[in-house]
Every structure is written in structure tokens, then in C-alpha cells.
């Protein structure tokens, strides 16, 4: 039986691509929180790899959003621009 506390979690800096990607999708309404996490992961992957378009990444994520994909792309694009990402 372990009596030690769990290890500390160190977060990414606020200006890292990980934080920017996940923050850009935080306002997207989804069926479940995991859908938002998946969408954030695909946005992050797109920012790192620059393969395809943002629209393709949003659709490929398979996230079950409660708004149309076109609106999701618009919101994500706007949020990325606010955080200084040039598209």
C-alpha cells in the first residue's frame, strides 16, 4: 500500500502550443468533455505538423460538437489569432 503523495504535475507554459491549442477550443460546445479534448489535440497536431488545413483537422477529429463545423472552425481560427498564431 502506497502512502506517498502523488507526483506533482507541471503544466505547460501559457504561451506553449499545447496551451494555445486547448485554450482555442475551450468555448466550443460539445456532447462530452472528451470531444473537446480530442478537438484540442487535433488543433495542436495541426499547429505542429501543418499538414492539411484547419478545416480538415476539425473534421478529422470526429468531435461531436453542438454547432456546425464551419462555426467551430471560425471560432478556433479567431481564438488562435487572438493568441498571436498567424494562419
**Whole-model pTM?**
0.84
Q: Is 11 a domain residue?
A: no
Q: Is 16 a domain residue?
A: no
What does the pLDDT look like over 22-33, one tens digit per residue? Answer: 999 999 999 999
Count how many domains the chain has.
1
Distance from the first to the final alpha carbon of the chain: 51
Q: Is 46 a domain residue?
A: yes
**For 34, phi and psi rounded to 5 degrees?**
-65, -30
Q: Is 13 a domain residue?
A: no
Predicted pLDDT at 11:
79
Q: Is 8 a domain residue?
A: no
Q: Is 56 a domain residue?
A: yes
Task: Measure the CA–CA gap between 7 and 69, rounded to whole angstroms.
Answer: 39
Predicted pLDDT at 15:
81
Q: The domain containing residue 46 runs over which residues?
A: 31-82
Q: What percent of the chain stands above pLDDT 90?
A: 74
Residues (pLDDT < 70) of the chain are 1-2
Amino acid at each position: 500500500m502506497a502512502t506517498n503523495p502523488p507526483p506533482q504535475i507541471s503544466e505547460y507554459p501559457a504561451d506553449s502550443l499545447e496551451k494555445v491549442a486547448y485554450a482555442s477550443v475551450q468555448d466550443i460546445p460539445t456532447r462530452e468533455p472528451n470531444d473537446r479534448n480530442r478537438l484540442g489535440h487535433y488543433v495542436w497536431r495541426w499547429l505542429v505538423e501543418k499538414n492539411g488545413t484547419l478545416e480538415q483537422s476539425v473534421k478529422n477529429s470526429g468531435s461531436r460538437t453542438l454547432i456546425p463545423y464551419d462555426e467551430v472552425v471560425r471560432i478556433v481560427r479567431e481564438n488562435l489569432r487572438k493568441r498571436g498564431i498567424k494562419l
